[in-house]
Chains A and B, each alone.
Chain A
Amino acid sequence: MQIPTHEPGRSRTPFSELYEAHFDAVLGFVTRRTTDRHLAADLTADVFVAALESFEGYDFRRGTHRVWLYGIARNTLASYVRHAAREREAVATLSGRRLLDDQDVQRFEERIDAEREARGLLARHAVLSEPLRAVIDLVAVDGLTTKEAAKVLRISQATARVRLHRARVALRAERATPSGTFTTPLTEAAR
């Protein structure tokens, strides 16, 4: 009988288990950032396809599965915003929206509805510079600890703490002098 050998840091968990355990977390991450159910389905599928593609390289020393998936989700959504819908249509092959039935559409709507408050927070964070925003989004909106957020963003915990603090100060200042207008953080209208 062959004794399995493992490289240090490599995960032994099958991808299916990771999918089962973190589907809801990824779906939450996505539905906090878009109000379009079809786009949410597409992006959720994209996140898991990207995760599957880089699963071999997963190293638990750089964060738990959830932290790792949030990192991928962040990149997937950022890349979506950068490239816009048109380009995505051209390259995407696993179309999430194709997998939706009526009941799913309803559930997506409920989820999107339930995350209204989180989207409000994200919108408020839009006044911040990107480095500050990235940390406070993950902590205040996605519920990660500062340590986890640091791992997602691949920065040191100290840096994450400083940015979080600066973000909170800036938001308090912003609240004192409301500017009135800010751009919505994500492409809610993009399809």
Chain B
Amino acid sequence: MNTPTGFKQRLGAELALLERARAEGVAEETAGHGMRVTARQVFARPAVRRTAFVGLAAGTVAAVVITAWGGPGTQTRPVRAMTVAQVLDAAAVNASKGSDEEPGLHQWVYTGAVVCDSFECGRRSSWARYDGVKVASLEKTPATGGRTVVSVGDSFVLPEMVGGRLQPPKVGDRPQETREVLSGLPTDPRELLERVSTDPFFARGYDPSAIEPPVEGQDSRHNFWKVIPRAVTPGAQFARIVYILRSVPNIPPQVNAALYRALALIPGVDLASAPMRDAAGRSGITIAFDFQDRDRTRAYLFLDADTYAYHGSRRDSRGKNSTSESYARVATDIVDHPGQMPGGPAPAPSDVVERPPIIMTTLKPR
């Protein structure tokens, strides 16, 4: 029989949660008003809705259904029919249904974000031309006469020097190239994780467990924090995948799905014990990772509670100098002009200024 087993298991898990929710709190509460509790009412309640969504199940669902439905002994236990694997599987299912629209070469990818450091938060609007040649942002400086203008300039990604050689562009640097590489990735989560962990194109993201602090009293000219090239660690894998999710707003749906499933394969990835808000103040599902470095760095990935879409990420270090960095993507879309908001008009030509090109005579690829 052609049974859609994944669907059957997920629906079973949701029904189990619904049954539990009806049996517990909600029924009592509403019974006082002499009303019948319907599934719709149960799901309409924010708390229950969230639980149920989190309860969406993956490969391990059979077990979940049993736990959730259980026998009489399980009745008093709180609902915890979710694992990080189930949440990430649900995120994958939803990601696979995302848009696969590729922008035109001269169209722009708009991203609206809230970025926080240890001290303050700011909204940031940016545009990247799909061919990777130009970027734009909003600027308000004395040079612009105090007006907010759209500043368009050459895309310039600070080239990395390794061993005296300039490194080729990496993931997120150029939208089209990034999408091309991503489209060619395997969609099997294990193969994808292997590839992302080893391909230098994905060597991005902050892995504090791979950084060695400067030694006191050393020659100050070389007193930089040194990145130690290391074997593939869970920390590096987590950092790389979160970096892809953050820096590429239009990941091809099947690869996006595989990225979420790959995250579930990394040891130490778990649901945060307490819900957190992202930089934009939105609550949702929080996935946490401990780098187990000397600064006890903890990273978080925020997903939408309803759609599991990427909301943002955060990193807290609790070392000698506590630092925190948080990023939330609040909007992204394809537009025709730099400075244009999704659905909005093109900005007036007088509001667009060209940034002078940056000339880097000293840094030339050998």
Contact = CB atoms under 8 A, between A and B. Distances in A.
A67 interface: no
Contacts, number: 90
A49 B8 CA distance: 13
Q: How large is the interface on A (under 10, 10 to 19, 20 to 34, 35 or more residues)?
A: 20 to 34
Interface in B90-145: 92-94, 96
A101 interface: yes
Given A16-B69, A44-B11, A104-B6, A52 B19 contact: yes
B206 interface: no
A94 interface: yes
A41 interface: yes
Interface in A38-67: 41, 44-45, 48-50, 52-53
Interface string A1-29: 00000000000001110011001100100
Interface string A112-123: 001000000000
A103 B38 CA distance: 31
A23 B93 contact: no
A107 interface: yes
Contacts of B201: none
B224 interface: no
Interface in B12-27: 12, 14-16, 18-19, 22
A93 B3 contact: no
Given A14-B69, A15-B69, A49-B39, A96 B11 contact: yes
A15 B39 CA distance: 15
Contacts of A92: 40
Contacts of B66: 16
Contacts of B94: 98
6 contacts: A15-B19, A16-B15, A44-B11, A49-B18, A99-B11, A102-B96
Given A48-B15, A101-B6, 20 more contacts: A15-B19, A15-B69, A27-B3, A45-B14, A49-B18, A52-B18, A52-B22, A53-B39, A92-B40, A93-B40, A93-B43, A93-B49, A96-B7, A99-B56, A100-B4, A100-B93, A102-B96, A107-B2, A107-B4, A108-B4
List the 8 closest pairs (A to B, CB-CB), nearest first: A93-B43, A104-B4, A107-B4, A16-B69, A104-B7, A110-B2, A99-B10, A49-B39
